């Protein structure tokens, strides 16, 4: 039996279709849904090289691990109460 490299065999030996979050690479629509941004915003950020992406031929793909890091790096944390008192 041949299986897709992203498919995981079920207990009965048949392959199942992977869920979007099991993919390592996401397409534009999946990246938009994953980040909560619009498809238009993703396209704009790609054209401005403001979001990590890779090209597979003419396709634009997003590595989920890199998106997670990018989201963490761009998270603005609230100021602590102590910091705001010293200002």
- 40 is a domain residue: yes
Q: Tell me, what's the pLDDT at 33?
A: 97
54 in any annotated domain: yes
Question: Strand, coil or helix: what is 69?
Answer: helix
Question: Is 73 part of a structural domain of the chain?
Answer: no
8 near 16, Cβ under 8 Å?
Answer: yes
Domain total of the chain: 1
Q: Identify whether 9 is part of a domain.
A: no
Strand ordering across the sheet containing 25-26: 25-26, 59-63, 54-56
Residue 58 confidence (pLDDT):
96
First vs last Cα of the chain: how many Å apart?
A: 67
| pLDDT, position 16 | 57
Range of the domain at 60: 20-68
Per-residue pLDDT tens over the stretch 26-74: 999 999 999 999 999 999 999 999 999 999 999 999 999 999 999 999 9
- Global confidence as pTM: 0.65
Mean pLDDT across 10-38: 77
Does 45 reside within a domain?
yes
Q: In this model, does residue 11 exceed pLDDT 70? A: no
The domain that holds 39 is classified in CATH as 1.10.10
């Amino acid at each position: 039996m041949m299986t897709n490299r992203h498919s995981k065999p079920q207990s009965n030996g048949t392959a199942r279709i992977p869920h979007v979050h099991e993919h390592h690479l996401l397409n534009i629509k999946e990246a938009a849904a994953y980040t909560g941004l619009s498809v238009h915003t993703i396209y704009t950020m790609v054209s401005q090289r403001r979001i990590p992406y890779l090209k597979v031929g003419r396709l634009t793909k997003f590595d989920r691990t890199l998106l997670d890091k990018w989201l963490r790096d761009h998270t603005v944390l609230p100021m602590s109460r102590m910091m705001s008192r010293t200002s």
